[in-house]
């Protein structure tokens, strides 16, 4: 049984960890991508503690983070993180109420889409700008800076620099074309990442809680097969606008089926009782190769019909006929 002192120490540790998660991406350049983990401590601590204690931890962490970012002049970065906090609340509520992972995930994605659209609209109204176009322009500057690095390095001949310039220009065009899908995919990946890491941490904390749906059983609604078919048709039609729509829809669907494919891979590796080292190598190879990601997404789509995770019937296992 934990003493009052140990509980107090644990609470202080939780506040410190949460404050770091909130503060680091706001004040350290190059680590802005860690904003995507902002919901994680909210999800975790509101799941393992009661609402009052969890809320106290989050409130103190926010106060510390606000003080740090105000002192360093990076408060706007923290304000962006605040839009992500309710995702942790949604996931924690789903965990406490044994809500399906699918439902919690869809709710979280819907929330982020709504909030970011409203926030962008309000910012645009207040500043008389278009946040969407400004974000695209910031990406353009990033591409220009990348080419400038190659050019100023002085290690590349003129012919190679021209090829690099053409490649970056083509990449920029595709990014602009797929920008809506990239934004939506980033939201989906943010929710998925927090769900995966959060459930792993909660499983470590409460291994006896077996009534929670495991991510290896994650399934995309079968009705999404129809958008896949429609996307394929849109890509075949000789119309640029339909092709662009199809590409955007295809990218989002690929991300969704990638998550299902990873669930299939996880289920199969657990079924085969593979060592942790083999699992780590497998995941690394899959994520490092574009073809590996494509294969996993295709595996997730095929699972709709094949159902790789369906337990075999004993008769099927005993049947040795050809």
Q: Positive or negative, the Cα torsion across 299, 301, 304, 306?
A: negative
Spatial separation of the C-alpha atoms in residues 37 and 54, rounded to whole Å: 17
Q: What pLDDT band is residue 4 in, cutting at 50, 70 and 90?
A: low
Better-scored residue on pLDDT, 19 or 310: 19
Q: What pLDDT band is residue 218 in, cutting at 50, 70 and 90?
A: confident
How far CA 282 is from CA of 71, 257, 263, 297, in Å, comes to 44, 18, 13, 15
Q: Where are the domains of the chain?
A: 214-322
User: Quick one: CA torsion of 153, 156, 158, 161, rounded to 10 degrees?
Assistant: -80
* Of residues 179, 181, 183, 66, the one with CA closest to residue 115: 183
Predicted local confidence at residue 286, as pLDDT: 85
Which position has the token pair 């998550």? 259
Q: 21 CB contacts (<8 Å, ≥6 apart)?
A: 34, 37, 38, 40, 41, 61
Phi, psi angles (nearest 5°) of residue 73: 75, 25
Phi and psi based region of residue 73 (left: phi greater than 0; alpha: psi -120 to 50; beta: remaining): left
Contact 66, 75 (CB under 8 A): yes
- b/e per residue, 272-294, with b = 16+ CB within 10 A? eeeeeeeeeeebeebeeeeeebe
Spatial separation of the C-alpha atoms in residues 207 and 6, rounded to whole Å: 21
Q: What pLDDT band is residue 321 in, cutting at 50, 70 and 90?
A: very low
Q: Sort 320 into a burial class: Cβ within 10 Å, 0-12 / 13-18 / 19+.
A: exposed
Mean pLDDT of 135-150: 81
Name the least confident of 194-198, 225-229, 244-248, 263-267. Answer: 263-267
- Which structure tokens are listed for 7? 């509980």
Spatial separation of the C-alpha atoms in residues 134 and 202, rounded to whole Å: 39
Predicted local confidence at residue 59, as pLDDT: 94
Q: What is the DSSP string of 84-137?
A: THHHHHHHHHHHHTT--HHHHHHHHHHHHHHHHHHHHHHHHHHHTS-HHHHHHH
Is the confidence at residue 315, as pLDDT, over 50? no
This prediction's pTM: 0.83
Spatial separation of the C-alpha atoms in residues 233 and 228, rounded to whole Å: 9
Residue 235: helix, strand or coil by DSSP? Answer: helix
How far CA 225 is from CA of 221, 254, 255, in Å, comes to 8, 11, 14
Q: Positive or negative, the Cα torsion across 224, 226, 230, 235?
A: positive
């Amino acid at each position: 049984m934990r003493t009052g002192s140990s509980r107090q120490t644990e609470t202080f540790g939780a506040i410190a960890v949460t404050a770091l998660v909130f503060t680091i991406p706001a004040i350290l350049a190059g680590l802005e991508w860690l904003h995507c983990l902002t919901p994680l401590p909210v999800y975790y601590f509101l799941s393992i503690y009661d609402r009052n204690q969890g809320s106290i931890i989050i409130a103190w962490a926010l106060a510390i983070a606000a003080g740090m970012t105000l002192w360093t002049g990076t408060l706007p970065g923290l304000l962006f993180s605040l839009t992500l906090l309710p995702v942790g609340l949604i996931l924690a509520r789903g965990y406490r109420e044994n809500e399906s992972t699918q439902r919690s995930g869809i709710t979280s994605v819907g929330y982020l889409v709504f909030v970011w659209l409203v926030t962008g609209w309000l910012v645009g109204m207040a500043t008389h700008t278009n946040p969407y176009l400004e974000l695209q322009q910031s990406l353009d500057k990033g591409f220009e800076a990348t080419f400038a690095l190659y050019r100023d390095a002085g290690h590349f001949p003129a012919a190679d620099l021209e090829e690099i310039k053409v490649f970056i220009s083509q990449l920029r065009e595709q990014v602009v074309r797929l920008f809506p899908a990239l934004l939506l995919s980033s939201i989906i990946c943010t929710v998925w990442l927090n769900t995966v890491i959060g459930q792993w941490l909660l499983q470590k904390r409460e291994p006896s809680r077996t009534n929670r749906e495991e991510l290896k059983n994650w399934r995309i609604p079968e009705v999404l097969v129809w958008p896949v078919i429609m996307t394929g048709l849109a890509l075949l039609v000789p119309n640029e606008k339909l092709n662009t729509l199809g590409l955007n829809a295809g990218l989002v669907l690929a991300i969704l089926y990638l998550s299902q494919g990873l669930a299939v891979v996880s289920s199969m590796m657990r079924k085969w009782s593979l060592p942790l080292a083999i699992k780590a190598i497998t995941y690394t190879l899959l994520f490092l190769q574009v073809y590996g990601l494509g294969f996993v997404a295709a595996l997730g789509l095929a699972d709709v019909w094949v159902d790789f995770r369906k337990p075999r019937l004993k008769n099927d296992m005993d049947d040795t006929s050809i």
